[in-house]
Amino acid sequence: MGILERIKEIEAEMARTQKNKATEGHLGRLKAQLAKLRSQLLEPSSKGGGKGEGFDVGRYGDARVALIGFPSVGKSTLLSRLTGTESEAAAYEFTTLTCIPGVIYHNGAKIQLLDLPGIIEGAAEGRGRGRQVIAVGKSADLVLMVLDATKDDSQRQRLEAELEAVGIRLNRRPPNIYFRPKKTGGIHFNAVVPLTRLDSKTVQLVLHEYKIFNCDVVIREDSTADDLIDVIEGNRKYVKCLYVYNKIDCLTLEQVDELARKPHTVVVSCHKNWNLDTLLECLWNDLELVRVYTKKRGQFPDFSEPIVLTPQRGDGTVENAIKMIHRDLMKDLKYGIVWGRSTKHNPQRVGTGHKLDDEDVLQIVKKFG
């Protein structure tokens, strides 16, 4: 039996199983089996081979944003409007066949925007170019999920299910679970909060499914078996997602208002150029980029070209900023002086670990001799 057949068989068994306290352990074990099979299914794409023409796009700029959506929802048009890059577009499905990169210049930062081929159901199983789309999606700092405002929300649910199946978690943070495999000592399980959706038996069954018999597990929040599996797998990508509903020029004001009130949502019309400025601002806020301006002693700050840091990737300190200027500067650094919102007083003398805030000004003081 192939992997796809085994996945379908497990999904069918899960659908037949009633959800109650007595079946929690059994369902947890089935979920672990499903996660392992899905990881095996995607392994070939992560070991090279099959990247495909147009998908080997190097990272450029200060952040990477991926446009994901079903065919003919307006991704190519949106790319053209935001970046001026021409992606072949037409009023029929599967126009975009390769990954088209463009760059948004906004607030002094360069944001790489990738128009991916229209994802289809079954992408997690490798249909179409699903695996390639998923690989690029996992490398993004933000996902723009482009949806057709004239259609029902099942399109969004289907896309979320596809991304969930391949380990992309939208608008979620990693579970607060400590997990450490050991060589001996058995399984030590502890929970520091009351658990309503997980018990020790389910934890043991999940661990045994992964052939883990010696480890420490500490659960620090009310978690599920899915959360534990995510931590064990260790390859999940937690990424922010902005839902972009296009074609609002075809809706009534009441319908547009209803869509706009949904969380993490922006409504636009690429055809009419409506609300694209709001989309840019929401995109900027979600990326949480930090612009740092430099200043020489006795001179005004240079506001022409900021250093742009990405705290989501762990780049947000004085050390990161200095290394972006020149790595050798760290050898001669004595301390930094910072003006801005990250300081308790202005100016403030800081060390290399100081976390900078947007639009801070940094002066580097070097050692003498």
Helices 200-209 and 24-46 cross at an angle (nearest 10°) of: 30
Strands 265-267 and 348-350, sheet pairing? unpaired
Q: 57-71, 179-193, 236-250: which has the minimum mean pLDDT?
A: 57-71
pLDDT at 369: 44
Q: Which residue has the tokens 């023409």?
A: 53
pLDDT at 232: 96
- Residue 89 in this model has a pLDDT that exceeds 50: no
Q: 65-79, 82-96, 255-269, 280-294: which has the minimum mean pLDDT?
A: 82-96
- Amino acid occupying residue 287: L
Q: Cα–chain-centroid distance for residue 114?
A: 14
* Contact (CB, 8 A) for 38 and 121: no
- Compute the mean pLDDT over every residue in the chain, rounded to the nearest whole number: 86
Whole-number Å distance between alpha carbons of 339 and 362: 7
- Residue 306 in this model has a pLDDT that exceeds 60: yes
The predicted model gives 219-243 an average pLDDT of 94
pLDDT at 1: 67
Q: What percent of the chain has pLDDT over 70?
A: 86
User: Could you tell me the domains of the chain?
Assistant: 3-43+175-233 (no CATH), 63-171+236-287 (3.40.50.300), 290-366 (3.10.20.30)
Give exposure, 72-111, as e/b (b: 16+ Cβ within 10 Å): bbbbbbbbbbbbebebebeeeeebbebbbbbbbebebbeb
pLDDT at 280: 95
CA distances from 67 to 119, 147, 170, 203, 209 (A): 10, 10, 14, 37, 36
Whole-number Å distance between alpha carbons of 177 and 112: 33
Which range has the top average pLDDT, 79-83, 246-250, 313-317?
Answer: 246-250
- Residue 353 in this model has a pLDDT that exceeds 70: yes
Measured between its terminal Cα atoms, the distance across the chain in Å is: 71
pLDDT at 129: 57
Strand partners, 350: 336
Structure tokens at 277: 């400025």
For the entire predicted model, the pTM comes to 0.84
Task: Please report which confidence band the pLDDT of residue 180 belongs to, taking 50, 70 and 90 as the band edges.
Answer: very high
pLDDT at 175: 96
273: exposed, middle or buried (Cβ count in 10 Å: 0-12, 13-18, 19+) = exposed
pLDDT at 184: 93
Structure tokens at 65: 């944003």
pLDDT, tens only, 121-145: 565 665 655 566 667 778 899 999 9
Q: Cα–chain-centroid distance for residue 73?
A: 21
- Amino acid occupying residue 351: G
Phi and psi for 49 in degrees, rounded to 5? 75, 125
Question: What ranges in the chain are assigned the alpha helix state H?
Answer: 3-16, 24-46, 75-83, 130-138, 154-165, 200-209, 225-233, 253-260, 276-287, 318-325, 329-332
- Residue 117 in this model has a pLDDT that exceeds 90: no
**Stronger pLDDT, 271 or 99, i.e. the higher one:** 271
pLDDT, tens only, 17-58: 988 888 989 999 999 999 888 888 766 544 444 444 445 567
- Residue 294 in this model has a pLDDT that exceeds 80: yes
pLDDT, tens only, 241-293: 999 999 999 999 999 999 999 999 999 999 999 999 999 999 999 999 999 99
Q: What percent of the chain has pLDDT over 90?
A: 60
